[in-house]
Amino acid sequence: MEFKLFDLSIVEYAFFVTSVLIILIGLYAALVKKTLIKIVIGLSILDAGINLLLISIGYLKAGTAPIFSPALVKNMPLTLENIKKLSEGMVDPVPQALVLTAIVIGFGVTAVALSLVIRLYRHHHTLNIDEIKNLKW
Amino acid sequence: MVGSPVLFIAIPLLAAFLIPLLGFVWKESVRILPGLVLLYLLYLSLTLMEQVVHTGTIVEVIAGWAPPWGINLVFSPLTGLLTTLMILMGFIIWIYSYRFKNIDFQEAVKYFILLLMLITGSVGIVLTGDIFNQFVFIEITSISAYALTAFYKGRDSAEASFKYLMIGSLSSMFLLLAIALIYSQLGTLNMADIAAKAHLMKPEFKILALIFFITGLGIEAEIFPLNGWAPDAYAQAPGPIGAAFSGIVVKAGVYAMIRVMFTLFDVAGTHQFLIVIGIITLIIAEMSAVRQEHLKRMLAYSSIGQMGLVIVAFGIGTEEGVFAALFLMLNHAIIKSLLFLSGSYLVYHSTGKYISEVDGIARNLPITSFLFALGSIAIVGMPPFAGFWSKWSMLTAAAHSNLILIIGLVLSVSLIELVYYFRVLNRIYFFPKKKEVVVKKPTINALLAMGLLGLLILIIGFYPDSVTGYLHAASQSLLDKGKYIHDVLSTGQLLLP
């Protein structure tokens, strides 16, 4: 569970670097771009990057699904030590559950954002953020 | 036991999704159901609160997964106090907006669903004992808040809402990063478990997580660099929603931030950080409030300023300081809601909501103007109204900690508040009425809601002892970190096979 920052395998390292890169790309798009749609796309990319980061926390090389199936247990008595031994190769399911939730939330936010973009376009007839400034931006 | 804390989340969620279905059967039920739900929850929270103050924290385990594995709800004196406050504000806002959107059935359905979701989310933020669950509730609150901000199609509300959404979703990403960091380091999401294991985390990771948390939660708490959304959102949202933001959502945000700082991590220097960030928020907000020409923007900046005051009071860090902060939060919720509710009738038909449009309106709207004046005087902190006691307790807390600067700051800020609130009152009472301004008489239920808030201000003003007992219990429960950890984690041991 505990990871040390500089003690990673190449694959894990690649996961972290990629997710940070995706987060930075998303931040760039959300903060620098002037078109509303591009900003929303940037937010979605940011979301994806963070989800990848969360998933890579639970990554295990050649990990198995965290299910104590009858084939795996093979009539072993389920003592605490046996459970520990069996669960060694298992992937941590919590980050995956978190990511599922985060994806749904991200979907909801994107939907609301896009509907607001439609409203803004109908109101101002433009998607350029510099031209929408009835309120002080 | 009358009911369990999980009902605070289950019942309003169920009701929110039942509203459109019941609307097919009987249209009036759309308006009545939220009120019944909130009334029941108010009764429940008051009884649970009474029980908790005397017998100790209730920890509710969800779905049989004991802490630290599953999600748990913690109803302690602190969270109970905030829950009660939020549900009370929700109920009063329901009374106020009962006839809201009278003609349009579809609009009323949307409005009440979103209002119930907003209340559910905020109550969830306060009650939950799990940081990822808290993130989910923060998102529920935020998404309903975005939608409610954009409720009026005619105004510039979509712009305000998009701005809010941008800041909100960026900061929720930071929150998720903080959660990822903590999970990768400690392998747990339960707040009590994190607090117990926090010393295992490297200090640099701890500080990084804390920074992510502050960025993520500061937006709902309206602390300085993250509150750019607030004036626009308050000004563009419907009047009762402004009251809901300042009375419900912001309180939940401040709670989440304080929980992270006081319970999760004990990094040295957080108290000084809170004082500094609170002072910056306070000064900038009050200075901006003075120059506002829009009534609702002025109220919004004043709201941000008050939150700065609350954060400074938390930063004092002693039990008295926390007590003062909670008292300020309670009074701010009641008084600022009254100001938003009565203020939105003062500028009901105006498109710009300019302060100059309230000239001489007291002759046409005597009761609303009187209540607005009561709120203004109370929030400035004049005796014998509610605001006086909270500012007084903050001053004594600062004096006992030898923070003379804070005393001077609070007094001078009160002076600034006096200036801009009395400027409005002066216009309401002593200026000649403008002919072109059309006056809207408040409905009977709006008067009832505002009258209730005014009554609360008077009750707390004349009998502060009626709430101080609960506030003392709440501040002790926030500062007693060991008890929180013990209360939550011991529930787990009882349920283990």
Mean pLDDT for all residues in chain B? 86
Calculate mean pLDDT across residues B125-142. 91
Beta carbon pairs, A and B, within 8 Å: 86
Task: Please give the pLDDT value at position A1.
Answer: 44
Task: Please give the pLDDT value at position B119.
Answer: 93
- CA within 13 Å, CB half, A80: 1
Give me the tens of pLDDT residue by residue for chain A, a chain 137 residues long.
444 555 566 777 788 889 899 999 999 998 898 889 999 999 999 999 999 988 888 777 667 777 777 777 777 777 777 777 777 777 788 888 889 999 999 999 999 999 999 988 888 888 888 877 776 64
pLDDT per residue over B229-275, tens digit each? 888 888 888 888 989 998 899 999 999 998 888 888 877 788 888 89
The closest CB to that of A112, out of B159, B163, B165, belongs to B165
> What tokens were used for B106?
């579809």
CB B174 within 8 A of CB B202: no
- CA within 13 Å, CB half, A19: 18
Residue position matching structure tokens 């969800």: B62
Q: Nearest C-alpha of chain B: how many angstroms from A109?
A: 7
| Cα end-to-end distance, chain B, whole Å | 25
- Residue with the larger pLDDT of the pair A6 and B49: B49
Q: Nearest C-alpha of chain A: how many angstroms from B48?
A: 31
* A105: chain B residues, CB-CB within 8 Å: 136, 139, 172
pLDDT per residue over B391-443, tens digit each? 889 899 888 888 888 899 888 988 999 988 998 888 888 888 777 777 778 88
Task: Please give the pLDDT value at position A2.
Answer: 47
> B176 and A1 in contact by Cβ < 8 A?
no
Q: Nearest C-alpha of chain A: how many angstroms from B164?
A: 10
> What tokens were used for B261?
């700082």
> A116 and B162 in contact by Cβ < 8 A?
yes
Chain B residue whose CA is closest to A41 = B166
> A50 and B177 in contact by Cβ < 8 A?
yes
DSSP characters for B177-222? HHHHHHHHHHS--BHHHHHHHGGGS-HHHHHHHHHHHHHHHHHHHT
Backbone angles phi, psi at B15, to 5 degrees: -65, -40
Q: Which of B140, B148, B153, B173 to mutate to test the interface with A (most CBs of A within 10 A)?
A: B173
Residue B92: name the closest of B336, B381, B337, B293 by CA: B337
pLDDT per residue over B286-336, tens digit each? 888 888 888 888 899 999 999 999 999 998 888 888 999 999 999 999 999
Q: Which domains does chain A have, with CATH numbers?
A: 10-131 (1.10.287.3510)
pLDDT band at B493 (very low <50, low <70, confident <90, very high): low
Domain ranges for chain B, please list them: 306-462
* B163: chain A residues, CB-CB within 8 Å: 135, 137
pLDDT band at B1 (very low <50, low <70, confident <90, very high): low
Residue A67 Rama label (left phi>0; alpha psi -120 to 50; beta): beta
Residue B195: name the closest of B328, B56, B366, B68 by CA: B68
Residue A1: name the closest of A59, A53, A55 by CA: A59
B132 in reach of chain A (CB within 8 A): yes
Task: Please give the pLDDT value at position A45.
Answer: 93
B176 in reach of chain A (CB within 8 A): yes
The closest CB to that of B147, out of A36, A57, A112, belongs to A112
Reported ipTM: the value is: 0.86
Q: Which residues pair with B75 in a beta bridge?
A: B58
Calculate mean pLDDT across residues B67-81. 85
Return d(Cα B83, Cα B81) in angstroms, integer. 5
Residues 6+ apart with CB under 8 A from B7: B41, B44
> What tokens were used for A7?
């003690």
B288 in reach of chain A (CB within 8 A): no
Inform me whether the pLDDT recorded for B494 exceeds 70.
no
Residue B119: name the closest of B82, B90, B79 by CA: B90
Chain A residue whose CA is closest to B147 = A112
Residue B218: name the closest of B267, B261, B189, B161 by CA: B261
Q: Nearest C-alpha of chain B: how many angstroms from A72?
A: 23
CA dist list (Å): B32 to B18, B88, B120, B275: 12, 16, 17, 44
Q: Nearest C-alpha of chain B: how many angstroms from A102?
A: 8
Cβ-based interface (< 8 Å): residues of A facing B? 1-3, 23, 27, 30, 36, 39, 43, 46-47, 50, 53-54, 57, 92, 94-95, 98, 101-102, 105, 108-109, 112-113, 116-117, 119-120, 123, 132, 134-137
Residue position matching structure tokens 């009323």: B108
Q: How many CB atoms lie within 10 A of CB B153?
A: 11
